[in-house]
Amino acid sequence: MWQTLILSRWKSILAYLPVETVIRDRQAEYYRTLAQADDHADATPFVEFMLGALLAAIQESAASDQVKRLLDALRSGEATAADLMLGSGLSHRPTFRKNYLEPALVAGLIERTQPDSPRSPTQRYRLSARGRALAATQGAKRQDANPSR
């Protein structure tokens, strides 16, 4: 959505915010507030709604550093959850799933190779199109920060 695009261009870390999820969960309020702002030619209600949605998204994504590390681990291709845990230096599966895997899946940054069988023992994960685009953006920014490489 446009919110994520604008935010991620301003500060790349904001690309990890689950803004679309928060807005989808409040879709009726989103459209009602947008119509109200349009009817009164006053954007204030819509801006207030969006600021509230951003705050909720920030609160939901306290795991953004973890998600970033997960994306970095998947740059080289598909991996199992066990491989990703090992690469992240984690050994507690529930913490890994809650703070790394689920936020990245919900944000649409990674995807399962077997979406119809999420608990399959052969399940692997890979970057989604959105995750690849974000990883490429981060790589370009790193290169700009280190031009000698």
For the stretch 61-74, pLDDT in tens is 544 667 778 888 89
Provide CB contacts within 8 A for 108, sequence distance 6+: 20, 128, 130, 131
Query: What digits encode the pLDDT tens for the residues 83-112?
Result: 999 887 888 999 888 888 888 888 888 999
Q: What is the pLDDT of residue 63?
A: 43
Structural domains of the chain ordered from first start: 2-60 (no CATH), 64-138 (1.10.10.10)
pLDDT value at position 147? 55
**Assessment of whether the complete model's pTM goes beyond 0.95:** no
* pLDDT at residue number 79: 96
Q: Take residue 19 and report the two structure tokens written for it.
A: 């803004």
* pLDDT attached to residue 138: 63
Name 121's Cβ contacts closer than 8 Å, sequence gap at least 6: none
Stretches where the chain sits below pLDDT 50 are 62-63, 145, 149
SS3 letters across the chain: CHHHHHHHHHCHHHHHCCHHHHHHHCHHHHHHHHHHHHHCCCCHHHHHHHHHHHHHHHHHCCCHHHHHHHHHHHCCCCECHHHHHHHHCCCCHHHHHHHHHHHHHHCCCEEECCCCCCCCCCCCEEECHHHHHHHHHHHHHHHHHCCCC
